[in-house]
């Protein structure tokens, strides 16, 4: 099992024992607005979501849960997805439990998984996209060493509405200074 360490976190693939925290995460209003993970009505649905995250067999994603090193409690979810081993590129997405926000969890897990993508998977670019209205995500991108490269028009369909929003594209390359 892959295991990454940062200053304050351990990252490892999701396991179904993460279901109680995953349930809270998927039902958080900010997550439902900016990075929905699908309907999660109960703990069984949360456990199934964790099992899917821990199954990397398709080769198209590598999903980690950040946990507290002392307690093992899940604090956040970060996924390298749309992995393209021909072009050696992937995208990254992330969510943090409301109770764990504001103390560098997103910054550390995005940085750690991006470095792992370069060093262990040989990727040459990781891309990060967020609605221009998601200021917190933009700060996470900058804090994790991702360069703002441009704006795509009407790229984000706001869940449950007809509203579409422009997105920022950020990218990080192995040659970028990072953190």
* Residues 6+ positions from 48 with CB-CB distance below 8 Å: none
The answer to whether the beta carbons of residues 140 and 110 sit under 8 Å apart is: yes
In the numeric block, which tokens belong to residue 69?
């090193």
Pick 44 or 81: Cβ nearer ligand COA = 81
Instruction: Select from 24, 45, 89, 136 the one that contacts ligand COA (CB under 6 A).
Output: 136
Pick 47 or 112: Cβ nearer ligand COA = 112
140 binds ligand COA (CB under 6 A): yes
Which one of 38-46, 55-63, 97-105, 169-177 is the stretch in contact with ligand COA (CB under 6 A)? Answer: 97-105
31 binds ligand COA (CB under 6 A): yes
Pick 107 or 125: Cβ nearer ligand COA = 107
Give the phi and the psi of residue 31 in degrees, each rounded to 5.
-65, -40
32 binds ligand COA (CB under 6 A): no
Burial call 151-162: b when 16+ CB within 10 Å, e when fewer: eeeebbeeeeee
Distance in Å, CB of 139 to ligand COA, minimum:
3
Instruction: Select from 38, 82, 135, 151 the one that contacts ligand COA (CB under 6 A).
Output: 135
Considering only residues 99 through 118, tell me which ones interact with ligand COA, judged by CB under 6 A: 101-107
Instruction: Select from 6, 18, 19, 35 the one that contacts ligand COA (CB under 6 A).
Output: 35
Which one of 4-12, 79-87, 130-138, 170-178 is the stretch in contact with ligand COA (CB under 6 A)? Answer: 130-138
Give the phi and the psi of residue 120 in degrees, each rounded to 5.
-105, -25
Angstrom distance (rounded) from CA 7 to CA 179 = 13
Q: What stretches of the chain adopt beta strand conformation (E)?
A: 4-5, 10-12, 62-67, 74-84, 89-96, 125-131, 147-157, 164-172
Give the phi and the psi of residue 147 in degrees, each rounded to 5.
-85, 135
Q: Would you tell me which residues interact with ligand COA (CB under 6 A)?
A: 30-31, 34-35, 94-96, 101-107, 130, 134-137, 139-140, 143
């Amino acid at each position: 099992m892959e295991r990454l360490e940062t200053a304050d976190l351990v990252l490892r693939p999701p396991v179904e024992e993460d279901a109680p925290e995953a349930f809270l995460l998927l039902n958080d209003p900010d997550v439902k607005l900016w990075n929905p993970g699908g309907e999660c009505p109960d703990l069984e649905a949360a456990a199934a979501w964790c099992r899917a995250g821990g199954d990397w067999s398709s080769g198209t994603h590598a999903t980690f849960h950040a946990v507290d090193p002392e307690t093992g409690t899940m604090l956040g979810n970060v996924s390298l997805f749309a992995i393209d081993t021909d072009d050696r590129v992937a995208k990254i997405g992330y969510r943090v439990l409301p109770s764990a926000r504001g103390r560098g969890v997103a910054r550390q897990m995005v940085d750690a998984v991006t470095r792992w993508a370069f060093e262990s998977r040989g990727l040459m670019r990781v891309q990060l996209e967020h609605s221009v209205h998601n200021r917190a995500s933009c700060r996470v991108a900058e804090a994790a060493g991702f360069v703002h490269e441009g704006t795509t028009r009407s790229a984000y369909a706001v869940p449950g509405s007809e509203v579409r929003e422009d997105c920022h594209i950020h990218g990080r390359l192995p040659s970028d200074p990072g953190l």
